[in-house]
Amino acid sequence: MARAASLLCLLAGVAFAATPESSDSSQLLARADAIKTVDNTAFAKLLEQLDKNTANLSEAQKWTLRYLHAWELGYTGQFVKAKPELEVIARQAPDNTMRINATASLINILGFGHHYEEAFAQLDQGLDELPRVSDKNARFHLMAEAAQLLIGAGQYDLATSYTDQIIADYPDGRNGCIGRYLKVHANFLDGRMRASDLDAQQGLETCVKAGENMWTDAIRRDVANFAIQQGRIPEAIRLLQNSYANVVGYHYPELTAEYDALLAQAYWETNDSAHAEKFALDTVDIAKKDDYTQPLSTAYELLFQIARQQGDLRNAVTYREKFVAADKDHVDELREKALAYQFAKQQVEIKKSQLEELNKKNQILQLQRALDHKAVETSRLYIALLLTVLASIGFLLYRLKRSQLRFMRLARRDGLTGIFNRQHFVDEAEQALRYTAKSMRGACLILIDMDHFKLINDTHGHTVGDQVLRRAVTMCQRYLRSCDVFGRLGGEEFGILLPECTPTQALYRAEQIRAAIHATTEDEPQDIPISASFGIASADHYGYELRKLLIAADDALYSAKREGRNRVVMSETDTDAVSPSSERATG
């Protein structure tokens, strides 16, 4: 069964004590709910049995069965089908316990699918209803998802407030184990873990006692990571190796990739490059399939250092570039979560202010209707006061709206250069390609990578390096049209999508940009040699799918690097399409 490969998805599986098998529908539903993560195969069979008896189910039981089906869709990774079902249940189910469970499951799949703004919006609605929910398991379900989502957004104190509530409701057992794991994880990420951490010890004891081995090993991951940070490498290796066989057996790739990355890091610290390389390569094999950016970034950085130590410069360059891209993706993911939280927070403030504004308006209307001759002056003064308050609220709403727009811009723009960030570039480029595909017009993709940029940073400092990137962006913008899509893909790499452009035109414009960037050397106070390499691919030969264009342009870019840098190279397939009068541009 294809499961959503994340520890997060397990929070949606709140197992209760199993009830004896019975033909009674209520007991069958209760048993299905109890075993849905413990024995998912048996759970699926129970759903089939219940489906055959829907005519005899009460309305409440039908809603329960519908929720269990929606949960199963999410558990097996069918998020597109699960999402609308869970949304209906979260809005329309007659029972608030079921609405909370559906909301929590919806938050789960939205977070896993990187739809963080929607996840926080659902969380806000669920938390509004939580005080009216008495079912402890449903409360646990939502608070666990809240803690997990807030940890991802860097809101560790707020996340800990929910973990403490979980621990208060469940001092022991599975739910208490998960609550303690989330608290330990928040403490570690927030830098609050200590060598003899009481929360970690209590978490391990609770999870071991409850027989929750996977959560026990998740806590051990954080303890080992902390030990590595503290320089206690043998202790970290021993802890990781003792749990490694169990972790592999859980078949949850994210946790396995994290263990592999930590072992690679630990062995590198002991100068055991052979083991470090093995575990780093294992990390890459697992992490790149599902885009686990943090362990992938760690693995590529270690592989770069190992290749450089071995004198393998070609692989060192390749791993360095992959590390920069993975690290950028990881930072963008964290930034996206943090911005989504801030955006959701702004939305809540705006709603509160709008509600307060509406209440004040209603008060004014009531006062105006109640005016009599004896209290005219007093009431008018009160109305004037309310109007002043109303104006203040209006000004606050204006500022909140401006702040909200600023957060939206931040989510789309690269902080250093002001052009599109990677994610927004991809979105805009794909939209532009869809439009050009409909009209069957040409399009070309240019990838640009600054030459020897690490040397510039190492020699002259990051401030100068940032200045070089900004100057390069300015040079590019001089030769771009309003319809062109320009973005920073990571580090010193940029992408330009040129709609309605032939390969010959793309080659000419790339050469213009290359020459302009190289000419900026004369303007630099340190007389820094600045150049860039270019790779071009066209939709005429690779189609209108951005992924294929990126691969082809990336191959051409690496050819430019191998051929000496500071040059423009067309993809091999596109070279034949360039007119004979055009030359391959070199510097």
DSSP of 400-429: HHHHHHHHHHHHHB-TTT-SB-HHHHHHHH
Strand-pair partners of 487: 420, 495
Residue 430 Cα to chain centre, angstroms: 20
pLDDT at 196: 72
Element (H, E) at 351: helix 313-370
Strand-pair partners of 568: 534
Question: What is the rounded CA–CA span in Å between residue 209 and residue 465?
Answer: 54
| CATH, domain 422-575, list 3.60.21.70, 3.30.70.270, 2.40.10.10, 2.40.430.10 | 3.30.70.270
222-251: buried (b, 16+ CB within 10 Å) or exposed (e) per residue?
A: bbbbbbbeeebbeebbebbeebbeebeeee
**How crowded is the C-beta side of 526, counted as CA atoms within 13 Å?**
13
- What DSSP designation does 502 have? -
Give 10-residue mean pLDDT values along the chain (587 residues): 41 40 73 77 88 88 91 81 90 90 90 84 87 89 92 89 93 93 93 83 94 92 93 94 92 91 95 95 90 89 92 88 84 77 68 63 66 58 71 66 55 80 89 87 94 86 88 93 91 93 94 90 65 95 91 92 93 64 40
Task: Print the SS3 string covering 79-124.
Answer: HHHHHHHHHHHHHHCCCHHHHHHHHHHHHHHHHHCCCHHHHHHHHH
pTM for this model (two decimals) = 0.60
pLDDT at 399: 66
pLDDT at 246: 92
Whether the CB-CB separation of 490 and 422 falls below 8 Å is answered with: yes
**Domain coordinates of the chain in residue numbers?**
252-412, 422-575
pLDDT at 250: 81
Widest distance between CA atoms in the chain: 95
Burial class (CB in 10 A: 0-12, 13-18, 19+), 80: exposed
pLDDT at 534: 97
Please list the helix, strand and coil fractions of the chain in percent, rounded to the nearest 5, in that order.
Answer: 75, 5, 20
Q: What angle do CA 108, 112, 114 make, to 5 degrees?
A: 120
